[in-house]
Structure 1
Amino acid sequence: MAEVLWQWDELVAAAQGRAEGAPATPITGLSIDTRSLAPGDVFVALKDARDGHEFVGAAFKAGAAAALVSQAYARSGADGALIRVADPLRALEAVGRAARVRTDARIVAVTGSVGKTSTKEALRLCLSVMGPTHASEKSYNNHWGVPLTLARMPKDAKFAVLEIGMNHPGEITPLAGMVRPHVAVITTVEPVHLGQFASVADIAEAKAEILQGLVPGGAAVLPRDNPHFALLRDGAKAAGARIVTFGYHEEADFRAIQVDIGHRGSSVIAGHGSQRFPYRVGAPGEHYVKNSLAVLAALSAVGADIMRCAPALLKLTPPAGRGARVHLAAPGGPILLIDESYNANPASVRAALAAMATTPREDHPRRIAVLGDMLELGEASADLHRGLKEAVDAAGVDLVFACGPMMRLLVDDLAPSKRGAWAASSAELTQALLDAVHPGDVVMIKGSLGSRMALLVAAMQGRFGSERPQGRLGG
């Protein structure tokens, strides 16, 4: 049975609302989506593409303990207990702040142009070795995801890991102030969302907003290899933070000394002063190795035992849309599908191509990259798409299938032998891809969410069927 998350009177006070009735069951969670709502959750009726008030009835039908609604909501006969507030989003923020006030957990906040979710998940795995650990679900890192994650934090959590994202300047500041982390991690700064920023340096400034939310005496975990390290370091100093660095740089506090990257994960020896930490990362790709160094630095900053925690990194596996590897049972032999369809930017596409290149040719002789447009790159978009050619060639890609007007520029720059097909959209590319794939191929599919590359993943799985996820090596 799920433990009680909030007492009714406590939640009403935290939301600064007015109770109408009382729940018949304990409150064990909060939800903003009736499709994933669990019995005992309080449904929060937010307004986004749809008005959450339209789904209050469905929430109670699914077993909601109560609903948090606006003052103007008209109760229906099947409704249960309500908390009426002026604005459900502001009320959710208030509950999140109340949860932060009542907790004794050590809190880590993670931001960065890429690697936020994987670093958050790695920290969740590692800190769970030390005690109950609460963390953001999926990529709940925005203006509603952060307060929802805080509001869901159990009283007995010893650690919490929250992901904080942004698309525009100023977005991180209020979220970091809500979270008030003991440790703030910036994974990296890369040319992402350039449509909203004048330069990558401006992106670094926006990422550094997280440092202003640190509690007094808090620590900033910073990427020593990044070209914008000095800017981040100065921001940390201005915030009065302790600085802990990570990377390959010889001056990094937590640095990679020896790395062996394989198709089923990587073996790493990291150094911190005279200490050495040998461990394995279960997810393949050098980007996961770099993230693991950030994890070690954060573990140290939060006071965790690195030697106890680091073995948990072997359990790290890429989730669907972010590098999940599945064998498809094609007639004549398996096809390895690498699902990177959730999102894309220049850094993450390069990382995905390099990770695909770790797949041995003897297992999968032909490498196929399926790429969709990287969005929100502004005036630099054309050059950044063309600039992927070097990474495609370095990864030994045999065929490129692409969709979207910007990826057309990349395809045109490739050697004719590498041009699989191009189409205006992922839907229009589907048949050409399915006709070209052979048993033994490794197929990596990646693009921005708006490029809808998940359609191609579904088409591949529909045609060939999923056999099994690719496992990890032990050790």
Structure 2
Amino acid sequence: MLKEIINNKKLDRIKNLKISTNSREQNKGKIFLGIKGKSFNGNDFADKALKNGAKLAILQNSKNYSKKKINVKSTLKLLIKFSQKIRISSNASQVAITGSSGKTSLKELLGQCLQKNYSTTFSKNSFNNKFGLPISLINLKKDTTYGIFEIGMDKKGEIDYLSKIIKPDVGVITNISYAHAKNFKSLLDIAKAKSEIIFNIRKNGTIVLNKDDKFFDFFSNLANKNNLNIISFGKHKNSNIRLSKLKKSTKSYIIYIDVASKTFNFKINNNLLPYLDNILASIAVCKSLNIIDKIKSNFFSNYKIPSGRGNIKKFNVGSKKVNIIDESYNSNPLSLNFSIKKFDNLKVNPNKKFMLLGDMLELGKFSKKLHIEAAKDINKAKFKKLFVYGNYITETFNKIRTQKRGKILKSTNEILNIIKNDLNNGDFLMIKGSNSTGLNQITKQIGSKF
């Protein structure tokens, strides 16, 4: 298919064409595609990719000519065209997930659980933009049964653009909150931008909606106008997919879920309990794919929480052991509220629980207000001290009860010092902040610093 887009004889000698955009990975037999973005230029890494085994490098307007390099006007446009051809030729059912929070966690849950029994492709990390989504799509194979992808945005029109590429059979909108709010005037504007996915779902396709979300009626009206099937999930009594009972055993839970007139039960580990909305959404997707009667009670077993999404890391710090709950991948008002509640429900003495919070970024004119409001949820939680790192988060800190205030931190060293000096053996530190605050990278370094 790549040969149909690029008429170049250098491609003739390569069989089983595979694309790579990462020069650091093993590229044996692959074609390296040098993507150019705002802060990076893939052309600069072509030689490294070739050294790592790439057969060819396709570059954008490069003056670095060689027998192993092909020049094109736009590597991004090439990538998108190639991914569209892959999508058109694929018989896999495609699921596209969007929403203000929970996209990656839901994509991981569905992808990990489906791949146990079906050939499943799902986007790695948060590959949900104009670069990541096409890269994920080109990983579809001829025998792929299901493709699970997430679609992100930070302005109007992006979800329309990306969902036109994927043309999903099933769309999911997890929820609506003030995430990436800097380019929007209101929550309704954010909801309208998220609704763009509805118009690009394939004919007779399905939209999965959160019945508990305040914009459910708005989305369902649009879906009805576009003749889509609607499957709802949530706590609402009229949800199509609804939790009916929860039964605790020694190290796990049995959850009973009503699906239309049937009740299904599933065994889940304790770490999945806070993700009940994602479980319900997963069941809704399985129903839309007509496999609900085929999945077994252990469907959600062995799920691994992605790094930075609430996974617990244990570190030796001198003579003591410290538990880091890594929520550092991202933060917005809804996901912060979720993380605080999850931390509050952790069965640990409150005096052994600490929080380190960074800014919630890209909130625009809503930043100060939403950081101040976050203090309400934090003050309700049971924990010992709150530490903060950033600018806007000091607005939160100033509204926290005096006895719960820890310190305002301004450097990596200060963060490492509170782990070393302020935490005792067996303590838990939950770290959360937007990716661009740097907390995610700092958290990754903790293990090597002690």
Same-fold call, TM cutoff 0.5: yes
**Farther-moved stretch of structure 1 (30-39 vs 289-298):** 30-39
Offset at 1:393? 2.9
Identical positions, percent = 28
RMSD: 2.3
Aligned to 1:314: 301
Q: TM-score, normalised by structure 2?
A: 0.93
Q: 1:384 to 1:311 in 2, by over 3 A?
A: same
1:54 maps onto 2:44 in alignment: yes
Report the Cα distance in structure 2 between the residues aligned to 1:319 and 1:331, rounded to whole angstroms.
27
Offset at 1:97? 0.6
**Preserved CA contact (<8 Å) 1:253 1:273:** yes
Cα deviation 1:254-291 (Å, max 9, x = unaligned): 01122469997754221112211222344736551111
Q: 1:99 to 1:70 in 2, by over 3 A?
A: same
1:245 maps onto 2:235 in alignment: no
Cα deviation 1:189-223 (Å, max 9, x = unaligned): 11111111111111111111111111100000000
Aligned to 1:401: 387
**Preserved CA contact (<8 Å) 2:3 2:11:** no
1:39 maps onto 2:39 in alignment: no
Aligned to 2:432: 446
User: Which residue, out of 179, 188, 191, partners 2:178?
Assistant: 191
**Preserved CA contact (<8 Å) 2:351 2:383:** no
User: Which residue, out of 326, 332, 351, partners 2:338?
Assistant: 351
| AA at the equivalent of 1:17 | I
Q: How does 1:14-29 map to 2 (within 5 A)?
A: 16-22=5-11, 26-27=15-16, 29=18
Q: 1:37 to 1:239 in 2, by over 3 A?
A: farther
Report the Cα distance in structure 2 between the residues aligned to 1:332 and 1:357, rounded to whole angstroms.
27
Report the Cα distance in structure 1 between the residues aligned to 2:174 and 2:252, rounded to whole angstroms.
20
**Farther-moved stretch of structure 1 (337-346 vs 276-285):** 276-285
Aligned to 2:101: 114
User: Which residue, out of 30, 34, 38, partners 2:19?
Assistant: 30
Report the Cα distance in structure 2 between the residues aligned to 1:95 and 1:42, rounded to whole angstroms.
13
Offset at 1:358? 2.9
**Preserved CA contact (<8 Å) 1:261 1:286:** no
Q: How does 1:60-459 map to 2 (within 5 A)?
A: 60-70=50-60, 72-76=62-66, 79-80=67-68, 82-259=69-246, 267-282=254-269, 284=271, 287-306=274-293, 308=295, 311-331=298-318, 333-361=320-348, 365-425=351-411, 428-458=414-444
Offset at 1:426? 5.0
Aligned to 1:11: 2
**Preserved CA contact (<8 Å) 1:426 1:455:** no
Q: TM-score, normalised by structure 1?
A: 0.88
**Preserved CA contact (<8 Å) 1:357 1:396:** yes
Offset at 1:463? 4.5
Q: 1:426 to 1:442 in 2, by over 3 A?
A: same
Specify the SS of the correspondent of 2:295: helix
Report the Cα distance in structure 2 between the residues aligned to 1:112 and 1:447, rounded to whole angstroms.
18
Report the Cα distance in structure 1 between the residues aligned to 2:379 and 2:248, rounded to whole angstroms.
19
| AA at the equivalent of 1:196 | N
Offset at 1:307? 5.0
| AA at the equivalent of 1:304 | I
Offset at 1:332? 5.2
Report the Cα distance in structure 1 between the residues aligned to 2:351 and 2:426, rounded to whole angstroms.
6
Cα deviation 1:387-439 (Å, max 9, x = unaligned): 22232233312110001121111111112221110034555544234321111
Offset at 1:459? 5.2
Offset at 1:301? 0.3
| AA at the equivalent of 1:36 | E
In structure 2, stretches of 5+ residues that fail to align are none
| AA at the equivalent of 1:11 | L
**Preserved CA contact (<8 Å) 2:356 2:388:** yes
| AA at the equivalent of 2:443 | V
**Preserved CA contact (<8 Å) 1:17 1:83:** no
**Farther-moved stretch of structure 1 (139-148 vs 417-426):** 417-426
Q: 1:99 to 1:345 in 2, by over 3 A?
A: same
In structure 1, stretches of 5+ residues that fail to align are 1-9, 465-475
Offset at 1:20? 4.2
Report the Cα distance in structure 1 between the residues aligned to 2:251 and 2:232, rounded to whole angstroms.
27
Report the Cα distance in structure 1 between the residues aligned to 2:11 and 2:26, rounded to whole angstroms.
19
Report the Cα distance in structure 2 between the residues aligned to 1:306 and 1:437, rounded to whole angstroms.
48
Offset at 1:458? 3.9
Specify the SS of the correspondent of 2:40: coil
**Preserved CA contact (<8 Å) 2:27 2:50:** no
Q: 1:84 to 1:238 in 2, by over 3 A?
A: farther
